[in-house]
Amino acid sequence: MSRQTINDTFTLSIPDSFECMRSTELQELSRNGGDPYRWGARDREKHILFVVLWKPVPAILGWLADLKGIARRNAALTSRAYAEHGYQFLQSDSLDNGQIKAEGYQFAYSAGSIRQIATNFLVKDRKMVYSFIWIGREENTASDRALFRDVMESLQHV
pLDDT in tens, 97-145: 999 999 999 999 999 999 999 999 999 988 889 999 999 999 999 999 9
Cα–Cα distances in angstroms (integers) from residue 7 to residues 40, 54, 70, 146, in the given order: 12, 9, 20, 25
Residues linked to residue 135 through DSSP beta bridges, in sequence order? 49, 118
Asked whether the beta carbons of 146 and 128 are under 8 A apart, the reply is no
Q: How far is CA 1 from the centre of its chain?
A: 19
Q: Is the pLDDT of residue 57 over 90?
A: no
Which pLDDT value is given to residue 64?
66
Residue-wise pLDDT tens digits, 3-17: 999 999 999 999 999
Using CA atoms, how far apart are residues 18 and 67, in angstroms rounded to an integer? 29
In the chain, the amino acid numbered 124 is K
- Structural domains for the chain: 2-157 (3.40.1000.10)
pTM for the model stands at: 0.92
